[in-house]
Amino acid sequence: MTSDVIKYHDFWKYLCAKLKIMIESKLILIEQATINNPTQDYLKLKAIRETKKLLTQINFNAEVVPMESSIKLKEILIYLKGALLTKEESKLVEELVE
């Protein structure tokens, strides 16, 4: 029984790490596309950097990050930020969940 709990815990930690890497990778790709495209604006880059900063506050091993729902992810980010998301940050969350 104890070994099953350990296996589940290890698997959970693995999934959390994968989710964190997926989110960070997607943000990096969006950031690079924004930087490399001169038509993209400063506000989107600012939103990317703010979102990256907020995501570092999440303990992916202890909290479930709802990547299937932009509404729930926005709620978490609003809570972490202590204020409403900007229009650009909201759009970015939509892009992350796609």
Per the structure block, which two tokens stand in for 66? 């709802």
Ranges in the chain, pLDDT < 50: 1
Q: 68: how many CB neighbours lie within 10 A of its CB?
A: 8
In angstroms, the CA 6 to CA 81 distance is: 34
Domain ranges for the chain = 2-97
Q: What pLDDT sits at residue 65? A: 76
Question: How wide is the angle at C-alpha 56 spanned by C-alphas 50 and 60, nearest 5°?
Answer: 135
| The predicted structure's pLDDT at residue 5 | 56
pLDDT of residue 4: 61
